[in-house]
Amino acid sequence: MTTETDNGKPGIAKLIASAPKVTATLDHVTLIDASTIRPTPIRWLWPGWLARGKLHVLAGAPGTGKTTIALHIAACVSAGTPLPSGWRPARGNVLIWSGEDDPADTLVPRLIAAGADLSRVRIVGEVVEGGQRYAFDPARDVDKLAAASALVGNVTMIVVDPLVSAVSGDSHKNAEVRRGLQPLVDLAGRLGAALVGITHYSKGTQGRDPLERVTGSLAFGALARIVYGTVRQQAEEGEPATLTFARAKSNIGPDGGGYAYGMEQVEIDGGIHTSRVTWGAAVEGSARELLAEGEPENEAGADAASFLRDLLKNGSASTNGIFADAKGAGFSVDQMKRAKRKIGAVAWKEGMKGAWHWRLANAEERAEGSEGSEQKSPHSSLPSEGESHPSGAGVAAGTNAEMEVFIL
């Protein structure tokens, strides 16, 4: 075979001979022959609800006992006691990290109330490095947690509260959430432990699909194999409120269905008062039906108004910034505009080319609004953020008037 072409350039054989050889030391992508992979079943701690080696997300509104539920399940795993369905899990060791609750006055009392075998529970404490001590950070210290877990052995459940702490970047960006959670997911996979992360619902998302309600990026719900939701049912007058724990999503089994539950205060040894879950009957239906039932219709509007009022309490803010912050908190642009009217905020613009801002109305403007007068401004006929007004006309004011001010 010739090694040189007619024009004097190297031929194919010479190019092949001179090509770099692929060795194990070079960076490369590993391709696995599917025929060499042996199928394995899902390893369930709680069939259909809690899987070893998988990420689970428990989301809900404040006050629905999310952490107490997670601790109850952890207690059942540690002691091998019945879960809400009556299933007894294989006993295993549990790791719990909480960035919000104190172990001595909250976590351990709740575990005791739930019947945990405390000898099988490890609370993740400080990190010791180079003679220095600092608080464990799930966004940075998972490798050290892996080393400590190996010494414990038989870790079958890990609880992280709140899960968003594992993301060092922007928790509203899919790529950063996936990158932040992957070390914990990998650790759970290596240990064969069910990983349960606790998070909140975004404000103003009542009535939406439960997965859309999980705060932050959609990646939290997408990366999890199972997502649970909690909701407080609205009670009739004089009746106690009830709560529902439902399976909002499962990529590895059936979804929907759940359990009614309540919260009760109990006293443990030492006269310490704490809370625990009391489980009720199984409930049927889709997660959207179960988790939307009984939520107050005006809750989203009230939350949006409160959110906007807090945002403006220290001064004005650009509308673009307000809408961006609102989106991150789960509120739409329309909800913010309605909230603006509800709290009587003022829209203002500095200069012809300046950006629009919102601020809380001052006492004089509130008084004018309550009297039904018009908000006067030398340039109040200019449109506000795409809203047109008749040329030369002021903006009609009322209890919920939108007031605009143009500043030269």
Give 203-212 pLDDT, tens digit per residue. 777 767 788 8
Residue 106, domain member (yes or no):
yes
3-state percent helix, strand, coil for the chain, nearest multiple of 5: 30, 25, 40
Q: pLDDT 10s digit of each residue in the chain, 408 long?
A: 444 555 555 566 666 666 666 555 688 999 999 999 999 999 999 999 999 999 999 999 888 899 999 999 999 999 999 999 999 999 999 999 999 899 999 999 999 999 999 999 999 999 999 999 999 999 999 999 999 999 999 999 999 999 999 998 888 888 999 999 999 999 999 999 999 999 998 877 776 778 888 888 888 988 999 999 998 876 655 566 679 999 999 999 999 999 999 999 999 998 999 999 999 999 999 888 888 754 444 455 556 777 788 788 778 888 888 887 777 666 778 888 888 888 888 888 877 777 888 988 875 655 555 444 333 333 333 334 443 333 333 333 333 334 444 444
Same-domain check for residues 204 and 112: yes
Same structural domain, 305 and 381: yes
Residue 60 CB burial class (10 angstroms; 0-12, 13-18, ≥19): buried
Q: How many CA atoms, within 13 angstroms, populate the side-chain half-sphere of residue 407?
A: 10
Instruction: Tell me whether residue 345 is in a domain.
Output: yes
pLDDT for 390: 32
DSSP 271-291: TEEEEEEEEEEEE-S-HHHHH
For residue 211, the model assigns a pLDDT of: 82
pLDDT at 352: 73
- Let me know: does 183 contact 143? Beta carbons within 8 Å: yes
Same domain flag for 188 and 126? yes
Q: Across all residues in the chain, what is the average pLDDT?
A: 82
Q: 89 preceded by cis ω (within 30°)?
A: no
Residue 189 CA to residue 38 CA, distance in Å, equals 17
pLDDT in tens, 260-281: 999 999 999 989 999 999 999 9
Give the model's pLDDT for residue 339.
85
Say what the pLDDT of residue 147 is: 95
Do 319 and 250 share a structural domain?
no
Name the residue range of residue 112's domain. Answer: 44-292
Q: Are residues 306 and 288 in the same domain?
A: no
Return the CA Rg of the chain: 28
252 and 375 in a single domain? The answer is no
